[in-house]
Structure 1
Amino acid sequence: MPVSTLPGGALVRAARPGDEPAILRCIQSLAAYEKEPDAVVNTVERLTDALFGERPAAFTHVVELDGEVVAIALWFTTYSTWTGEQGMWLEDLWVDEAYRGRGYGRVLVQTLAAVCVERGFPRFEWTVLDWNAPSIAFYRALGAVGMDEWTTQRVTGAALARLAGR
């Protein structure tokens, strides 16, 4: 996807090597906002491998203003056994607080929607914390529909090891 210039000179573009420290800062800021400031164990090195390694596991689009990354949308592909097609999962959407209200979140979501359409992905999905009313309202305004009948399940740490029989 090409670089797009927004009013005020901000750029929307795919992440490139060298953006990892700014992307990690945004991830850490999102974790703090979601009341989990110590949960991020990711590193610049891990991001480099995940985003730009031999087999990228994830992709990121950023908003850059005056040479600084001020917003990110980190995503990866999914696969639906029901449709037999790939889709997109938005893992993290973050706009630095000082830059909110400028439409950066909207343009990032629109950019990812365009990637979905270009690639023929019929699904664009993500989760949002049920207490995050501003984000829920934002997503609804974009046309997103809540999947209230679905509940995310997770196994980690010692429970994961037990499940694996270890």
Structure 2
Amino acid sequence: DLFVCEKVRNAGVGRALIGFLADHCLREGIGRIDLTTEDWNEGALRFYDRLGAERHGQKVFLRLSGEALKAARS
């Protein structure tokens, strides 16, 4: 699970964490990151939408792959 404390949201912490994970994945030949969030978590959904994550299924499953995974590393 990945969470950012409410008091530091919108300060770049989540972006830095995803960037670190994306960089690790690309270095190690891992082609995607799968994520989940609840459909009511609008802040998380907006965050992942900005990253270019694709939505999959009724429960919101998100995936960073291809160009979005590369873009997330910096």
For the aligned pair, the TM-score class normalised by the smaller chain equals 0.7 to 0.9
Compute the TM-score of the two structures, normalised by the length of structure 2. 0.72
Q: Which has the higher helix share?
A: 2
Partners of 2:43 and 2:10 lie apart in 1 by: 12
Aligned length: 61
| In the alignment, structure 1 residue 139 sits paired with structure 2 residue 64 | no
Q: Which sections of structure 1, spanning at least 5 residues, go unmatched?
A: 1-91, 153-166
Task: Indicate the residue corresponding to 2:69 in structure 1.
Answer: none
Alignment of 1:9-158 (within 5 A): 92-148=1-57
Runs of 4+ in 1 over 4 A off after TM superposition: 149-152
Give the drift of 1:98: 1.6
What do you get for the CA RMSD once the two structures are aligned? Answer: 2.1
Aligned to 2:39, the other structure's residue is in SS state coil
Higher relative contact order (CA 8 A, sep 6+): 2
Q: Conserved in 1, the CA contact under 8 Å of 2:25 and 2:32?
A: yes
Separation in 2, partners of 1:113, 1:125: 11
Unaligned runs of 5+ in 2: 62-74
Paired AA for residue 3 in structure 2: W
SS in 2 for 1:141: helix
Q: Distance in 1 between matches of 2:5 and 2:60?
A: 29
User: Greater CA radius of gyration, 1 or 2?
Assistant: 1
